[in-house]
Chain A
Amino acid sequence: MRWLREAWWRVGLPDAVSWPAFYVTLLAGVIGNFANSSAAMPHLPRLAIVLVGQVALWIPLVVLRFTLLRDPHRSQPLIVLFVFLVGALMRLFVMTALIVSMYGSQSLNLLGRFLGIVVNIGPTFVITAIVVSALRERRRQISELAATRQRLEASLIDVDSALLQRNADAIESVRRILEGELQKLEGAQAERSLEVLQRTAVDIVRPMSHELAKSIPITVAMKANSSPDQVPWSHVWEVASRGRPFQPWFVGALMGWELFGMVIIRPEDSRAFVLFDAMFVVGFMIANRVLEIANRGKSGGFRIATTALASLVVSWLIAASVPRFLGTSPSDFGILLAFVLLGPGFALGTAILSALARERERVIVELTESAHVLGRSLARQRAVEWFQQKALSRALHGPIQSAVTAAAIRLDSDIREGTVESGVVETVRRDLIAGLDVLHQAPSEVTTLDQAIERMRATWEGVCAIDAAVSDAAAAAIAADGVLRSCVIDIVTEAVSNAVWHAKADQTRLEIALNPQASDVLIVEVVSNGRGDALSENRGLGTQQLDDWTLAWSRQINEQGSRLEAALPVVGG
Chain B
Amino acid sequence: MPGAGRRMLIVEDEPLMASLLAEVLLTNGFAAEIAHDVIEARAAIRHFDPDGILMDISLGDGPSGVDLARVLAGQRPDIAIIFLTKHTDLRTAGIDESELPASCGFLSKDRVRDTEYLLEAIEAVMTDRPREVRHDMDPGKPLASLSAKHVEVLRMMATGYTNEHIARVKGVAVSTVERWTAEIFKELGIGGKGAVNSRVEAVRQFIAAAGIPDRL
Contacts and interface: CB of A to CB of B under 8 A. Distances in A.
A96 interface: no
Given A202-B110, A408-B113, A462-B75, A209 B212 contact: yes
A501 B70 contact: yes
A543 interface: yes
Contact of A213 (B24, B75, B212): B212
Interface stretch (A80-88, A231-239, A452-460): A452-460
Contacts of B140: none
Interface residues of A, number: 57
Contact of A210 (B58, B86, B170, B212): B212
Contacts of B42: 458, 461
Interface stretch (A120-128, A147-155, A290-298, A398-406): A398-406
Contacts of B14: 398-399, 401-402
Contacts of A412: 113, 115
B71 A406 contact: no
B67 A497 contact: yes
B63 A455 contact: yes
A460 B63 CA distance: 9
A401 B63 contact: no
B13 interface: yes
A210 B214 CA distance: 10
Contacts of A493: 61-63
A510 B2 CA distance: 46
Contact of B16 (A385, A406, A497): A406
Interface string B106-117: 000110110100
A544 interface: yes
B67 A459 contact: yes
A386 B61 CA distance: 13
Chain A facing B: main interface SS: helix
Interface string A389-427: 100011001110111011011001100000000000000
A48 interface: no
Nearest to A457: B39
A402 B113 contact: no
Interface in B75-124: 75, 86, 99, 109-110, 112-113, 115
B17 A454 contact: no
Interface residues of B, number: 42
Max chain B CB contacts within 10 Å: which of A394, A447, A459, A486?
A: A459
Contacts of A454: 39
B215 A213 contact: yes
B16 A403 contact: yes
A501 B99 contact: yes
A489 interface: yes
A344 B187 CA distance: 75
Contacts of B110: 198, 201-202, 204-205, 405
Contact of A452 (B62, B71, B171): B62
Contact of A399 (B16, B58, B99, B215): B16
B191 interface: no
A20 to B, nearest CB: 38
A463 interface: yes
Nearest to A412: B113
Contact of B62 (A214, A406, A447): A447
Interface in B118-144: none
Interface in A169-227: 197-198, 201-202, 204-206, 209-210, 212-214, 216, 218
A114 B213 CA distance: 73
Nearest to B158: A213
B207 interface: yes
B161 to A, nearest CB: 9
A254 to B, nearest CB: 49
A459 B171 contact: no
B29 interface: no
B63 A405 contact: no
A43 interface: no
A543 B113 contact: no
Contacts of B20: 402, 405-406, 409
Max chain B CB contacts within 10 Å: which of A198, A405, A463, A501?
A: A405
A402 B215 contact: no
A186 B116 CA distance: 28
Contacts of B216: 386, 544-545, 548
B169 A397 contact: no
Nearest to B209: A206
B71 A459 contact: yes
A568 to B, nearest CB: 16
Given A405-B109, A409-B24, A447 B61 contact: yes
Interface string A453-483: 0111011111100000000000000000000
A573 interface: no
Contacts of A548: 216
Contacts of B24: 409
Nearest to B212: A213
B192 interface: no
A402 B17 contact: yes
B143 to A, nearest CB: 14
Nearest to B42: A458
Contacts of B59: 455
A186 to B, nearest CB: 21
Given A397-B58, A459-B68, A540-B171, A198 B214 contact: no
B38 interface: yes
B38 A459 contact: yes
B37 interface: yes
Contacts of A447: 60-62
Contact of B63 (A201, A385, A389, A497): A497
A539 interface: yes
B211 interface: yes
Interface of A: 197-198, 201-202, 204-206, 209-210, 212-214, 216, 218, 385-386, 389, 393-394, 397-399, 401-403, 405-406, 408-409, 412-413, 445, 447, 451-452, 454-456, 458-463, 486, 489-490, 493, 496-497, 501, 539-540, 543-545, 548
24 contacts: A204-B110, A205-B86, A210-B211, A214-B212, A385-B215, A398-B14, A401-B14, A401-B17, A402-B16, A405-B112, A409-B24, A409-B113, A445-B60, A447-B61, A447-B62, A451-B61, A455-B59, A455-B61, A459-B63, A493-B63, A497-B67, A501-B70, A540-B170, A548-B216
Closest A-B pairs by Cβ, 5 of them: A539-B171, A455-B62, A206-B211, A447-B61, A402-B16
Given A385-B215, A386-B215, A544-B216, 4 more contacts: A398-B14, A455-B61, A459-B62, A459-B68
